[in-house]
Amino acid sequence: MSRPPARAASAAPPAAVAAHAAPPLWVRLCHWTNAAVFVVMLTSGWQIYNADPFWIDGFAGYLTLGGSLPGALMWHFAGMWLLAANGLVALTLLAATGRLRRLYLSLGAGHVGGERSRVQKVAYLGVLSLLVLVALSGVSIWKPVQLQWLTQAFGGYQVARQVHFICMSLLAMFVAGHVCLALLSPRLLLAMLGLKRSAS
């Protein structure tokens, strides 16, 4: 559907500005909540892994949260609720506001009205899928009796632990790259912090 040019010009800001405009408040809140909870889940998860390592020897103590296994488990099973709640809010709003469809699921090459590039779309959808998988595999090793169908779907209890570990590793790698890129483009970082409304 084509719009009258004058209306389009007044309604939509120039592409470059739109791409750098501060995301809506709910995006920023969900993003930073997720970031904080992710750090808790990652570091407490490493401590839990250290109680029975299977692929690598273990994670250095200074990288872990909880002090020891009981403390780490308390952090992990508290963070779990916040991760899930925040994730559900984010996914619901991403779908309801059309942001997911507009920016990440459209088939264009990107950069029109803030639409992401193909690489960005793949990365974003990939990380969303990984977050869903890490949550489901985590739940499956938490409840291998009550939710045994889920544990079976991951290939049984021990395999589900490995799936959880792989998801964690891929997410950690994404976060490492994501943080590097964010530091290399301070304007986007400030926008996500809500400190900068748009690029000049």
Partner 1 sequence: MSDKIWTPDAATIDPGRRRLLRLSLGGAAAALLSGCDITSNETVETALKRVSRFNDAAQAALFRPQTLAPVFSRAELTLPFRFNAFYSEASVPEIDERTWRFKVDGLMRKPGEWTLAELKALMPVTEITRLVCIEGWSAIGQWTGVPLHHFLKLTGADTRAKYVAFTCADGYFTSIDMASALHPQTMLAFSFNGSDSLPDEFGFPLRLRIPTKLGFKNPKHLTGMTVSNTFTSGYWEDLHGYNWFAGL
Q: Which residues would be at the binding site for partner 1 (CB under 8 A)?
A: 48-49, 51-52, 61-62, 65-71, 73-75, 77-78, 81, 143-146, 148, 157-158, 161
- Shortest spacing between CB 93 and partner 1, in angstroms: 25
Instruction: Compare residues 14 and 77 and give the one whose CB is closer to partner 1.
Output: 77
CB 161 within 8 A of CB 141: yes
Residue number, 119 or 145, with CB nearest to partner 1: 145
How far apart are CB 74 and partner 1 at their closest, in Å? Answer: 4
Which amino acid, 200?
S
User: CB of 66: closest distance to partner 1 in angstroms?
Assistant: 5
> Residue 174 Cβ, how far from partner 1 at the closest point, in Å?
24
Annotate 71-81 with b (16+ C-beta within 10 A) or e (fewer): ebeebbeebbe
Cβ neighbours for 197, distance < 8 A, ≥ 6 positions apart? 21, 22, 191
Indicate the DSSP class of residue 105: I
Between 81 and 176, CB nearer to partner 1: 81
Q: With beta carbons less than 8 A apart as the criterion, state whether 140 and 154 touch.
A: yes
Residue number, 23 or 71, with CB nearest to partner 1: 71
